[in-house]
Amino acid sequence: MAVAAIKHIFNELHYEMTRKIAEGGMGVVYEAVQLGAGNFRKVVAVKLIREEYSALEQFQQNFIGEARLVADLIHTNIVQTYHLGHVGGQYFMVMEFVRGINLEQFIERHRQLGRPVPADLAAFIISRVARGLAYAHNKCDREGRHLNIVHRDIGPKNIMLAYEGDVKLTDFGIAKALDLMYNEEGKVIAGKDEYLSPEQASYVVTDARADLFPLGIVLSEVLLSRNVFFSTERAQSRRNILNLAIPQFSSLRPDIKPDLEAVLQRCFQRDRDRRYQSALDILTDLEMHLYRDGYGPTNEKLGIYIKDLFEVRDPIIPALPTRHPHVK
């Protein structure tokens, strides 16, 4: 559908499309303004799925399932979903607009500048992701049934950093949960090869602990500016997840303190019974590491750091919109 037609349709739905944020094979993400009575205006993100994918029954199920799942995930460390709709043969989702960057861009900026991410900020960012995961993993439905949510796609692209310093997990598009399981575990690998848990890489049925191994991968990547498991060959990345010797990270970066090293090593236990058993346990250990001696990182401190890093003087100006987690 032509852009002009899309804008016209959304205007009738009281959404003013202001600019394209990102575009991928399956859809487009727009920044939009939701309009209401009394000059009400709210900036949102609109994820619009291409017509050819919207017409596929399996894709419809996945997309609708994601929207249903995240609709009730209301937490400061998870990107909110406000509405699911269908117009002109295309499905769309209205989501919280995070004015900032994603963690991949944050890491890449440090690579460009040739400097490491401060270790305390790395630990703080991952502690906030762990906080959001702990909430999702423990979520129950309205009847009190545990939903058994597993995100299955933890990675830097799916972690948003707002200019104000908020850290938000997004993209539950391949999550599994009670009554929501479209990828057949045991036959299909869900997730990106270099951010898998050993269970995912081995085609084993997962539980919430499968999100904790890749959370360790992301923590190590923020600290080292590289993913130690990554290979240009996808199968090799999976083999690395299963077999690569786990390094002593403090030997690769000397300012990694023993208690942070211990967090990494426990995240990287391939036997999930020896790994952290919950995201809440990771959150607790990271906060003990950060605040044991008193004052430590805050959202405000992270926000100031991000604005300085990207030379953002006006927080209204969006930065680096070329890669966005909502588009595959």
Supply the residues annotated as catalytic: 153
Strand order from edge to edge, sheet including 159-162: 100-102, 159-162, 167-169
d(CA 279, CA 210): 10
Q: For the CA atoms of the chain, what is the radius of gyration?
A: 20
* Residue 300: exposure state from Cβ atoms within 10 A (0-12, 13-18, ≥19): exposed
b/e map of 2-21 (b: 16 or more CB within 10 Å)?
eeeebbebbeeeebebeeeb
Question: Are 150 and 207 contacting, i.e. CB atoms less than 8 angstroms apart?
Answer: yes
Hey, is 17 helix, strand or coil?
strand
